[in-house]
Amino acid sequence: MHERHDPFLAALDAYAAAVKAKDVDAFAALYDENVHVFDLWGRWELRGLPAWRAMAQEWFGSLGEDTVVVTHAHAQSQAGTELAYGHALLTYTAYAADGSRLRSLDNRISAALARRGEGWKIVHEHTSAPVDHASGKAMLKRDGAD
C-alpha cells in the first residue's frame, strides 16, 4: 500500500475512481485549468481543461452500461514543495453490467503536477504505447500480460 500524501499516486487513485464512476466532474477536478495533454487516442494534443473535460464526457458517454477499472503498476514518483511528477503502467479493463470481463488494454502514463492552493493539479499528462515497427500499430498489451 502506498502513502496517500504522494501527489502522483493520490492522483492515480482518484483518476481510477473517477473513471470507474464515469464521473466527469471528479475526473476534471484532477487537472489544472491550463492542462496540456499528449493523449494516446485520436488527437495529437489537447490544451486546456474544457477540451480535456469534453474528451472525458465523450469517453464516459461511449461506455453505456460498461464500467472501466483502471489499475496501475510500477509507479514511480518524486515530489517537491511545488512540483511533483511520476510515471506508471496503466491497465484499463472494461466490464459488462453483469460483471463479465469484456476487454483490456495497457498504456504508459507520465504526469507533472503543480501545487494549487492546498492541493495538487495535473498540469501535463502524456500517455503512450510502444509501436511495432513492422506493422506500425500500437502495442496495447505489456509483455507477459494476459
Residue partners of 72: CB distance under 8 A and separation at least 6: 12, 16, 88, 89, 90, 91, 109
**Residue 84, pLDDT score:** 97
Question: From CA 20, how far away is CA 63, in angstroms rounded?
Answer: 11
pLDDT tens digits, residue range 96-133?
A: 999 999 999 999 999 999 999 889 999 999 998 888 88
Say whether 85 sits in a helix, a strand or coil: strand
Tell me if 134 is assigned to some domain. no
- Which CATH number characterizes residue 96's domain? 3.10.450.50
Burial (CB count <10 Å: 0-12, 13-18, 19+), residue 3: exposed
Computed over every residue of the chain, the mean pLDDT equals: 92
pLDDT tens digits, residue range 42-52?
A: 788 999 999 99
Could you tell me the pTM of the whole model?
A: 0.89
pLDDT tens digits, residue range 63-100?
A: 999 999 999 999 999 999 999 999 999 999 999 999 99
Tell me if 43 is assigned to some domain. yes
Helix (H) or strand (E) holding 35: strand 31-38
User: What total of structural domains would you count in the chain?
Assistant: 1
Residue range of the domain that includes 114: 7-128
